[in-house]
Chains A and B, each alone.
Chain A
Amino acid sequence: MLNRTAENVARATPEPLARKVRGISDKGLAWLFISPTILLLLAINIFPLFWAIYLSFTNYRANRPNEVVKNLGFANYQRILGDKDIWIAMQTTAHFVFWTILLQTLIGFTLAWLIDRKFRGHAFWTTLILVPMMLSPAVVGNFWRFLYEPQIGLFAYAISFFTRIPPTDIQMLSNVSLAPWSIIIVDTWMWTPYVMLICLAGLRSIPEYIYEAAEVDRASNWRQFWSITLPMALPFIMLAVLFRGIENFKMFDMVNLLTGGGPGSTTEVASITLKRQAFESWRTGYSSAFAIILFVAVFGLANIYVKALNKVKQR
C-alpha cells in the first residue's frame, strides 16, 4: 500500500523537479525540510538570545542609537546583584509564585478528586470550572479591577456583607497588605482549573484494579488515598507545579493590569521591574543583564525540578 503511494507520488512529481531531487540523500532531504524551521528559530529565538547576552555587557540604550556603545564587562551584572530593589522584586516574585502554586495545587487537586467521583452532572460542572482559564488575562485583569473597586465593586460588598466592614475600607488594590493577595486570588481563580485538568488526567490514569485489590485487603479510604491516589498522581501534580511555576515566575499581564506593581513597589514582580528598566528607563544593556539572570535562574530551577520529577516517575 505504502509502496503504491510512493510510486504515485514519484509519478506525479514533475520531471525537472524529480531530476533535481534525485541527487539528494535522505539526510539531505530531511535537512531541506527542517531548514525553514531552524532558520526561523535562529532568527526569532537564538539570535535575540545571543544579542541580549552581548548587550548585557554594554551600556547600550535603545533610545540613544547614536551614542557610542561601551563595553562594561560584568558591571551590569554586579550592579543588579547588588541592587536592593532588584532583590525586593525577586522576593515579591517568590512570594507570589509560592502562594499561587500552593493554593492552585491544593484547590486544583481537590476539585479534580471531586470531579473524578463522576456524580450526576459532573460534565457540566467540569466545563463551568474551566471557564476562567478560557478567558484572556487582559479581560480577567480589567474585570477584577472593577470587582475590587472599593466604592462600586462587588468583591468589596461581598466581604462587607460577611464581615460588616464598610466596603470603602476594603481597598484590595490600594492597601499594601492586601494588594499582593488581590493578585494571588485572581491568579488562583483563573489557573486552578488548569491544575485541576492535569490532576484529573493523573487520577484517571490510575487503574481501577489497584483500588479493587485495596478493597479486598480492606484498606480504608484514607489509606487508599495516601498509598494509591496521591503517589500515583504525584508526577502529574509535579508537572502542573512546574508549568505554573514557570508561568508565574514571568507573570506580567495580571500584575500590570491590576496594580501596575503598586501600591509603591509592593507588587512589583521581576517582570515588571524588567519592563520598567527596558522600556521606560531605556537601560537596554542593564535590562538585558537582568533578563539573562532571570533566564538562568528559571532554567536552573526548572532543571533541578525536572530531575526530581524523573526520580518520582521512576519510583
Chain B
Amino acid sequence: MKSSLKLALGLTSAITASTAASNVAHAEDLTLCWAAWDPANALVELSKDFTKETGIGMKFEFVPWTNYADRFLNELNSHGKLCDLIIGDSQWIGGAAENGHYVKLNDFFDKEKISMDDFVPATVVGYSEWPKNTPNYWALPAMGDVVGWTYRKDWFSKPELQKEFKEKYGWDLGPPTTFDQLKQVAEFFQKREIDGKTVYGASIYTERGSEGITMGAMDVLYSYGFQYENPKKPYEMEGFVNSDKSVKGLEFYKALYDCCTPPGASNSYMGEGVDAFKSGQVAMHMNFAFTWPGLQKDENVGGDKIGYFVNPKGPDGDQFAQLGGQGISVVSYSDKQESALKYIKWFANKDVQAKWWSLGGYSCLNAVVKDPTFPASQPYAQTFLDSMAIVKDFWAEPSYAPLLQASQKRFHDYVVAGQGSAKDALDGLVKDWTQVFQDDGKM
C-alpha cells in the first residue's frame, strides 16, 4: 500500500513538473499577426532561425486579406492580447499610434543602434512614422510593396503581333511607359484570339468591399497630378483632389475598365488579378509586387513568359506608384513585449533581411536592396527598386477607414457603375473627406 502511494505521488509530481515546464516554454511563445499570403509563409520559414537562436517559439495568426483589417483592428481596438507582434497595414499607423495600440520604438532603436537611415526612405515614412515626416517610429519596415505591372512577354514577342501593332499604333509593341501607351496595348489585346483562346487587355483593381478600387485608381491618379491636399495648407482639398488633372486621371481609369478588362471583372483585387493572369486571360496585370515571386515560378505563365514594368507616366511625365507593404510593430497590450522587441532586433539584422528577400519577402533594408547583386537577383528586382523610388500612399490618418470607404464608394459608383461623371465623383469625395476631417476636429 505504502509503495503504491509512493508511486502515485511520484507520478503526480512528475506530471505536475512536466506540465509546469511545458507551460514555461509556452509562456515564451510569441504570436505574430499578419495577412494570409505568400510572404507570410516565407516569414514562418525565416522565423525558425529566430527560435533556434533565442529559444523563443513563434506562433502565427494569419487572416485572409478580405478580413485582415476587420479582424486585427477589432483585436487592437478591444485591447486584445492575441498578437504580441503585428504586421499592420501602412494606413493603420496613424490610428494605431494615436490610440496607443503600438509601442513607440524610438528608445528601443536608439538602445539597439537600429537606424532608420538604413532603410529605404519611402518605407520609413510609409510604414514607421507618425506623424508623417517626423522622427517618431512605431514600426520597423518589414515588407516593402508597391503596385506595378506584369505582362505576357511571350505574347508581346510574337512577330505577327509586333508587326500588326507597329502598323496600327506606330511604335514597337513592348512594356508601355505612359498610360496612353498602356491603353493602346490593352485595346490591342482585348478580345484577341491567341493560341485558340480569347484573351483580354488588362486586369486592374475594381474591388468594392475593402480597398481595391482605391488602390488601383490612385495608382493612375497620382501620375495624372492628383494630390490629397494643398502642400502648403494641410487638409485643404478643394482644387487638389478634384483638380482638372485628377478628373482626367479618373476618366482614364474608367476608360481602361470599360475598354480593356475581362468580362465580369467588376470586383477584382489581388487574388482575382493573379487568377486572371495565371489562367492566361490577360496580357497585362496590375498588382502589388508581392505577387511577382509566385507568378515568376508559375509553370504556365512564369519564367521567360512573364515580364515586369513600373507604373507608367502620366500625360505631364509625372510618375508615381501606389505604396503597399507594412511595418512590424509591438502591440502595447502584449505581456511579452521584451521578447517581441528581441524579434524586431533580430529581424533588423542584415543577414536575416538578405534571407528574407531570398525566401520571397521584400526587404526594405538599404544594405540588401542597394547591394550591387540585387537587381540581377530576381527578374523583377529592378522593377521593384524603380517602383519603390516613386511611391505615394493613401491617407494614414486615424480616420483612414471612413476616408477609404468614401473613396471606395465614389470610385466604384463612377468607374464600374458608370453613375455621374469623374468630376461629380471627385467633388463628392472632397465633400466626404471634408466631413470626416470636420468630425475629427481637424478642419
Residues of A within 8 A of B (CB): 59, 62-66, 85, 149-151, 168-169, 171, 173-174, 176, 259-266, 276, 279-283
Q: A59-B439, A171-B264 are in contact. Are A265 and B402 (CB under 8 A)?
A: no
Residues of B within 8 A of A173 (CB): 264, 266-267
Instruction: Say whether B77 faces chain A, with CB atoms less than 8 Å apart.
Output: yes
Assuming the contacts A171-B266, A173-B267, A174-B264, asked whether A260 and B209 have C-beta atoms less than 8 A apart, the reply is yes
Given A64-B398, A261-B208, A281-B401, also A150-B264 (CB < 8 A):
yes
| Bound complex: CA A259 to CA B266 (Å) | 9
CA distance A259 to B208 in the complex (A): 9
Can you list 16 A-B pairs, Cβ within 8 angstroms, ordered by A? Answer: A62-B77, A64-B99, A151-B281, A169-B263, A171-B264, A173-B264, A176-B417, A176-B419, A260-B209, A263-B266, A264-B419, A276-B405, A280-B404, A280-B405, A281-B401, A282-B402
Chain A residues lying within 8 Å of B401, measured Cβ to Cβ, are 63, 280-282
Binds A, one of B25-33, B128-136, B214-222, B408-416: B408-416
Chain A residue with Cβ nearest B416: A263
A160 smallest CB distance to B (angstroms): 12
Q: Does B244 contact A (CB under 8 A)?
A: no
CB-CB < 8 A to B416: which residues of A?
174, 262-264
Q: Could you mark each residue 414-443 of chain B with 1 if its beta carbon is under 8 Å from any beta carbon of chain A, else 0?
A: 101111000000000000000000010000
The one of B73, B100, B264, B414 that contacts A151, using a Cβ cutoff of 8 Å: B264
Given A65-B99, A263-B416: A171 in contact with B263 (beta carbons within 8 A):
yes
Cβ–Cβ contact B263 & A151, under 8 A: yes
User: What's the least CB distance linking B187 to chain A, in Å?
Assistant: 17
Inside 8 A of B198's CB, which chain A residues have their CB? 168
Q: Which residue of B lies closest to A265 (CB)?
A: B413
Tell me whether B70 is interfacial, beta carbon within 8 Å: yes
Evaluate contact between B73 and A63: CB separation under 8 angstroms: yes
Residues of B within 8 A of A265 (CB): 409, 412-413, 417, 419
Q: Give, as a whole number of angstroms, the nearest-CB distance from A156 to chain B.
A: 9
| Complex: chain B residue closest to A176, CB-CB | B417
Instruction: Output the least CB separation between B259 and chain A (Å).
Output: 14
Beyond known contacts A173-B264, A265-B419: 14 more, CB 8 A cutoff: A63-B73, A63-B401, A65-B79, A66-B100, A151-B262, A151-B263, A168-B198, A169-B263, A176-B417, A265-B409, A276-B405, A280-B404, A282-B401, A283-B402
Instruction: Flag whether B175 is at the interface (Cβ < 8 A).
Output: no
* Pair B412/A263 contact, Cβ less than 8 Å: yes
Residues from chain A with a CB closer than 8 A to the CB of B418 are: 176, 264
Closest B residue to A286 by beta carbon equals: B439
A148 to B, closest residue via Cβ? B264
Residues of A within 8 A of B402 (CB): 281-283
Q: How far is the CB of A4 from chain B (nearest CB, A)?
A: 49
| Interface contact B263-A262, CB-CB below 8 Å | no
- Are A263 and B439 within 8 A (Cβ)? no
From residue 370 to 419 of chain B, which have CB atoms closer than 8 A to chain A?
398, 401-402, 404-405, 409, 412-414, 416-419
> Are A281's CB and B412's CB within 8 A?
no
Most central of A64, A65, A176, A280 by chain B CB within 10 Å: A280
A286: min CB distance to chain B, Å: 9
User: Are B266 and A266 in contact (CB-based, < 8 A)?
Assistant: no
Interface size on B, residues (CB 8 A): 31
A266 nearest CB neighbor, chain B only:
B417
Residue B265 at the A interface, CB < 8 A?
yes
What B residues does A276 contact at CB under 8 A?
A: 405
Residues of B within 8 A of A169 (CB): 263
Chain A residues lying within 8 Å of B404, measured Cβ to Cβ, are 280
Q: Name the B residues within 8 Å of A266 (CB-CB).
A: 417
Bound-state Cα–Cα, A276 to B209, Å? 9
Cβ–Cβ < 8 Å partners of A263 in chain B? 208, 266-267, 412, 416-417
Q: Tell me which residues across on chain A come within 8 A of B267, comparing CB atoms.
A: 173-174, 259-260, 262-263
Question: Smallest CB–CB gap between B413 and chain A, Å?
Answer: 4
| In the complex, chain A residues whose CB is within 8 Å of the CB of B77 | 62-65
| B314 proximal to A (CB < 8 A) | no
The verdict on B324 contacting chain A, using a C-beta distance below 8 Å, is no
Min CB distance B4 to A, Å, is: 36
Contact A262–B264 (Cβ < 8 Å):
no
Which B154-213 residues have a C-beta within 8 angstroms of A?
A: 198, 208-209
CB-CB under 8 A from A283, the residues of chain B are: 402
- Which B239-268 residues sit within 8 Å CB-CB of chain A? 262-267
**Does A63 lie within 8 Å of B99, measured CB to CB?**
yes
Whether a CB of chain A sits under 8 angstroms from the CB of B95 is yes
Question: Cβ of A59: which chain B residues have Cβ within 8 Å of it?
Answer: 439
Task: Write out the residue numbers on chain A whose beta carbons fall within 8 Å of the beta carbon of B264.
Answer: 149-151, 168, 171, 173-174
Q: B99 to nearest A CB, angstroms?
A: 6
Contact partners of A151 in chain B: CB under 8 A: 262-264, 281
Cα distance A260–B66 in the bound complex, in angstroms: 12
* Shortest beta-carbon distance from A270 to chain B in Å: 15
For A168, what are the chain B residues with a Cβ–Cβ distance below 8 Å?
198, 263-264
Q: Which residues of A contact B439 (CB under 8 A)?
A: 59
Q: Identify which of residues 255-303 in chain B touch chain A, using a CB-to-CB cut-off of 8 Å.
A: 262-267, 281
The A-contacting residues of B in range 78-103, CB under 8 angstroms, are: 79, 95, 99-100
Determine how close the nearest CB of chain B comes to the CB of A57; give it in whole angstroms.
15
Question: Which of A64, A65, A262 is in CB contact (< 8 Å) with B208?
Answer: A262
Q: What's the Cα separation between A201 and B208 when bound, in Å?
A: 43
How near does chain B come to A162, taking the closest CB pair, in angstroms? 19
* B95 and A262 form a contact (CB under 8 A): no
Chain B residues, Cβ within 8 Å of A85: 409
User: In the complex, are the beta carbons of B405 and A262 less than 8 A apart?
Assistant: no
Chain B nearest CB: distance from A68 CB in Å? 11
Contacts of B208 in A (CB 8 A): 260-264
Query: Do residues A262 and B99 form an inter-chain contact, with CB atoms below 8 A?
Result: no
- Minimum Cβ distance to chain A for residue B216 (Å): 14
A residues in contact with B70, CB < 8 Å: 279-280
Q: Which residues of A contact B266 (CB under 8 A)?
A: 171, 173-174, 262-263
Quick one: closest A residue to B265, CB to CB? A174
Minimum CB–CB distance for B358 against chain A, Å: 37
Q: Which of A62, A169, A173, A260 has the most CB of B within 10 A?
A: A260
Which 6 A/B pairs are nearest by Cβ-Cβ distance? A264-B417, A174-B266, A264-B413, A281-B402, A168-B263, A150-B263
CB distance from B278 to the nearest CB of A (A): 14
Q: How far is the CA of A279 from the CA of B78 in the complex (A)?
A: 13
Shortest CB distance A138–B (Å):
14
Please name all residues of chain A whose beta carbon is closer than 8 Å to the beta carbon of B265 when the two chains form the complex: 174
Cα–Cα distance between A259 and B267 once the two chains are bound (Å): 8
Please give, as numbers and ranges, the residues of chain B lying within 8 Å of A262 by CB-CB distance: 208, 266-267, 412, 416-417
Q: Which residues of A contact B414 (CB under 8 A)?
A: 264
Residue of A nearest to B409 (CB): A265
Neighbouring A residues of B99 by C-beta, 8 Å? 63-66
Closest A residue to B398 by CB, please name it.
Answer: A64
